[in-house]
Structure 1
């Protein structure tokens, strides 16, 4: 792969109980497990970071696909939901739900754009075949 950009982050402490910061200093956050996993929930967690990254990346892909088709979209949103659970082999697995809202478009066209974005989004391509990812187009 010819890398166009490389992001760097460093985790210190004990992973879910510590800090994560980027090498450029633009992001520095306390990590704490959610209450559901026995933590205090006072900081952020890897699942929240993954949900945020996937939602933002997918939203960019959605706009790129729309621009490529000369379709103007405004007021769109992409919500990301990441779940963690047992994988029945002693470890854990993730599942992702993305909710796409494009208020000014007809449902069928919005679904076409979301399906096309799912084919080009780097997060979608990285997770395809590895974890369950559901993309839903909603009108609210």
Structure 2
């Protein structure tokens, strides 16, 4: 029954057109919480109410820990998206990957260009039981279609509005 909840392989069909074709928009609101600082004590809530989390500064950055943080949320999204793209491509190629695992590590640090902040991503894929050459091709093809990887490597269209 779980396969009925899987996205259709038709998501891999290419879009031909001059404009971005939106398929889904997630909207999340962040507020500052007790310290009036979103990263240190913020709250994030999705419009549909499914996501409702307390943010906390990790101990490594001088916080108390005890809650999630933006890097964990980004790592979760990246890992899930890459795994989903990998699964779609595997299904289309009739490659069985029941024990596939994607581990995303997002590191917050200092940017050597401006001395301020930057993120680094490291993605590790485990495909037990899959021939190495087939696994490497599957991962290369997944890199080409995963929107998180495309964003990490090429940037993202970003518009910022003050309301």
TM-score scaled by length of structure 2: 0.76
CA root-mean-square deviation: 1.1
Q: Distance in 2 between matches of 1:106 and 1:69?
A: 14
Q: 5+ residue gaps in structure 2?
A: 1-19, 156-163
- C-alpha distance in 2, partners of 1:86/1:54? 21
In the alignment, is residue 100 of structure 1 matched against residue 125 of structure 2?
Answer: yes
Q: Are the equivalent residues in 2 in contact too, given 1:74–1:104 (CA < 8 A)?
A: no
Alignment: residue pair count:
130
Q: 2:41 aligned with 1:22, yes or no?
A: no
- Residues of 2 paired with 1:92 and 1:23: CA distance? 28
Unaligned runs of at least 5 residues, structure 1: 131-140
- Deviation string 1:79-137 (CA, Å, 9 cap, x unpaired) is 1100011003131111111111111101221111111101100101111145xxxxxxx
Higher gyration radius (CA): 2
Matched, 1:61 2:80: no
Alpha-carbon distance between aligned partners in 2 of 1:51 and 1:24, rounded to the nearest angstrom: 21
For 1:9, the equivalent position in structure 2 comes to 28
Q: Which residue of the partner structure matches residue 116 of structure 1?
A: 141
Q: Which runs of 4+ in 1 moved over 4 A?
A: none
CA deviation after TM superposition for structure 1 residue 72, in Å? 2.0
Higher relative contact order, structure no. (Cα contacts within 8 Å, ≥ 6 residues apart): 1
Q: Is the 8 A contact 1:87 1:93 kept in 2?
A: yes
